[in-house]
Structure 1
C-alpha cells in the first residue's frame, strides 16, 4: 500500500468544515471520492492545501464574476508580485517541504491549476523523499496553467488527464508520461437517485437542469450559447458563480454536493455541454448525472462516444439538433427513463471511483 500526499486547493472551505473530522476533501470536490476509494483499498493519505494562507485559517468560497469588483482589484495587485518574492507563498512552499519530509510519501498527487508551488519545491520534495510526482488535471495547460506549473512539467512522472488532448499538451511541455483517465466518476453511495419531499420537488422541478459554471464567457461561451437556445423550455440553472444576463431569469440558486443530486433527481433531463477548452470530453458531471439516474444531453465529442454507448446518452451536433433532440426526449417519458436506467447501470459497472482507483493502482505499480 502507498502513502499518497495530495497537494490541492480547497474550493469550498465551508463544505469541508461540515465534514467529519479527518476528512481531507468536501463532497463537492471529486478528490473526496478519490480519497474514499483509495482509503478503502488500504492506502494512507494526507493533504496539503496550497491555496490557504500560511498564517490564519481557511478562507471562504470564491464566487466567479465577469464584473470588476474590489476583490478582483486586490487579487490583481497581489498577482503582480512575482511568486518567489511573495512571503506568504514562500512560507507555503516551505511548509509543503516540511510536511513531505514528515509524511514521506511514495506518491505526491498534484492537483491541476497550481499557482503556488514552485518547481524547485517539487524538485526538493522528490529529491528528499524519493517520491513519484503525479499531476492530475481536468483542464487544458494552454488555457489554464501558469508559468510555475508549466516550468515543473518535466518533473511530472505521470499526468492524469480527463481530456486526451490535454494529456498530449502536457507531453509536449515535457511530462514523462500521460494517461487519459477521467478524474471524475460516480460513487453509488452518493451519486444515485434521491427521494424528494413534496417541498423539494416543487423547489427543484424543471424539464431541463443545468448545475455548473457559465462565467467567464471566454471559457464557457459554447455552454452559454447552447443554453440560450433552450430558453423557451422549462430550464433551471444552478451555479455558485455569476451567470450571464441572458440566462439570469432561469437561475434558481446555488448547488453543491447532495443538493446537486436532489436537483438532478427532480429534473427530466440534464444539460451537460463542456467548456470551450474541452474537445475530447470528460467533464465532472458526465458520470455523476448518469449515476443519479437522469437522462443527459451533451455535445458529440470523441470521449463521450468512448465512455458511453449510444443508447445511454444523447449527443447533439449544433443548436438546431440540440433543440430537436431535447424536444423529442422530453415527449418520450418511457424512452427517457429507459435511457437513464441504462446509463446508470453502465457507469455503476465501468465508471465508479473504485474502478478509477484500481486503474491508478496499476499505474502506481509501474511507477514505483
Structure 2
C-alpha cells in the first residue's frame, strides 16, 4: 500500500509525555523514535502529578508551574533539535516561547482528541507549535480554516513486537474470556449501543464511568491499560469498538481511527468497529477489519462471526499482518519526521 524511503538521521528529540492513561503508549513512542536513530530524552510530567496526588499538598496551579519550570530547564540543558509533545495538557504556551528564546529547536504536537476538543483546546494551542499532527483527517481542515497552516494528518500506529511479548495465562483466560468485550470509557452513545446487547450475549465491559450505569452485571471493573488490556483483547472472541461521537456526525466523531483500532489489530484481535471514513484507507473491510454503521448491522455481524470461528480468526490475523506491514509505530515516527523535514526544507 505504501512506499517507504530511508529517513536521514537527526540528533536529539526531547519527548514530552502524554497523560497517565496513555502510560504504555508514552513508553512505546520514544522507543519507536530511537529505532529511527534519534537520541531521545523523556520528560514525564505525570510524575509531578502522581507525587502531588499522593501527598495532596499543592494546588494544581503550583504543580503546573513546577512542570513548566522543569521542562524549560531540561530543554535548555539538553538542547534538542526537536521537542515532541504528546497532547501536553499542562504545557503552557509561555513556556514554549521561553524555550524558543533560549534554543533553536522545532516544537510539534501529536494530538489525539480531535475534533471534539478543537473548539476549546486544540484549536487554541496549535498556533504555538511549529507543526501540529492529528490522528483525524477531518480536523486538519478545522485547523487550516482557522488560519493555521501547519496541521497534518498522522494516523496512529502500534508496536507489534511488544504486543506479541504478552502471554495469556490460564488465570488470565478465566478472568477475561468472553464472547464480546468492550474496553473504554462511558459515553452515552456507547451506552445506547451496548445496552441493546445486554442479556443477549456473553459480554464484559471495562472502563471509567460504567460503574454509575445499569451495566453492573457485565461491568468488570476499572479501565484496562497496558498489558492487562491486551490480555483481555487476546481472550475475547469479538472486541467492539465505538468511536466517541458515533451517530452524531463527522463534527463529533471525526473521520480518523482511534488508538483502539491499532491496538486491537496489533494484538491479532477480531474487532467490530463503527465506520469511520479513514478506516478503509488503512485496513481492507471484511478482510482485515469488520465495520458497522448502525445497530442492526452490528447485530447481524455479531451473529455471523460468533458462528464462524475460522473466518473471524483469519480476519484478526490479517489485521495484525497489516499493522506489521504499514502501521508500526516505528514507521509512523519515520513518516512524522519526513513530513517535518520536507516542510522545513521545502
TM class by shorter chain equals: 0.7 to 0.9
CA–CA distance in structure 1, aligned partners of residues 45 and 115 of structure 2: 19
Asked if 1:188 is matched to 2:183, the reply is no
Cα displacement (A) at 1:87: 4.3
CA–CA distance in structure 1, aligned partners of residues 16 and 207 of structure 2: 26
Counterpart of 1:270 in 2: which secondary structure? strand
Q: Paired residue for 1:230?
A: 197
Cα displacement (A) at 1:234: 0.8
Query: Which range moves more in the overlay, 197-206 or 287-296?
Result: 197-206
Change over 3 Å in CA distance of 1:173–1:123 after alignment to 2: farther
Q: Paired residue for 1:270?
A: 239
Change over 3 Å in CA distance of 1:366–1:108 after alignment to 2: same
Equivalent position to 1:204, from 168, 176, 181: 176
Equivalent residues of 1:290, 1:347 under 8 A apart: yes
CA–CA distance in structure 1, aligned partners of residues 294 and 165 of structure 2: 30
Cα displacement (A) at 1:305: 1.7
Q: Paired residue for 1:171?
A: 144
Change over 3 Å in CA distance of 1:158–1:348 after alignment to 2: same
Equivalent residues of 1:159, 1:178 under 8 A apart: yes
Equivalent residues of 1:153, 1:174 under 8 A apart: no
Change over 3 Å in CA distance of 1:113–1:106 after alignment to 2: closer
Cα displacement (A) at 1:125: 1.2
- Report how many residues are paired: 325
Q: Paired residue for 1:16?
A: none
Q: Paired residue for 2:6?
A: none
Cα displacement (A) at 1:228: 1.4
CA–CA distance in structure 2, aligned partners of residues 348 and 202 of structure 1: 29
Cα displacement (A) at 1:137: 0.5
Taking structure 2 as the reference length, the TM-score comes to 0.84
CA–CA distance in structure 2, aligned partners of residues 145 and 191 of structure 1: 35
CA–CA distance in structure 2, aligned partners of residues 141 and 268 of structure 1: 31
Q: Paired residue for 1:22?
A: none
TM-superposition CA deviations, 1:182-241 (whole Å, max 9, x none): 2x3221212238543332222211001112211xxxxx2222222112222111112255
Change over 3 Å in CA distance of 1:268–1:2 after alignment to 2: same
Equivalent position to 2:109, from 123, 127, 135: 135
RMSD: 2.7
CA–CA distance in structure 2, aligned partners of residues 323 and 193 of structure 1: 33
Asked if 1:252 is matched to 2:247, the reply is no
CA–CA distance in structure 2, aligned partners of residues 196 and 117 of structure 1: 38
After superposition, where does 1:286-305 map in structure 2 within 5 Å? Answer: 286-305=261-280
Cα displacement (A) at 1:292: 1.2
Unmatched 5+ stretches in structure 1: 13-24, 61-70, 80-85, 215-219
CA–CA distance in structure 1, aligned partners of residues 12 and 146 of structure 2: 27
After superposition, where does 1:60-139 map in structure 2 within 5 Å? Answer: 86-112=61-87, 114=89, 116-139=90-113
TM-superposition CA deviations, 1:154-195 (whole Å, max 9, x none): 22221111111223223344433122112x322121223854
Taking structure 1 as the reference length, the TM-score comes to 0.80
CA–CA distance in structure 2, aligned partners of residues 203 and 97 of structure 1: 45
Cα displacement (A) at 1:38: 0.9
Counterpart of 2:333 in 1: which secondary structure? helix
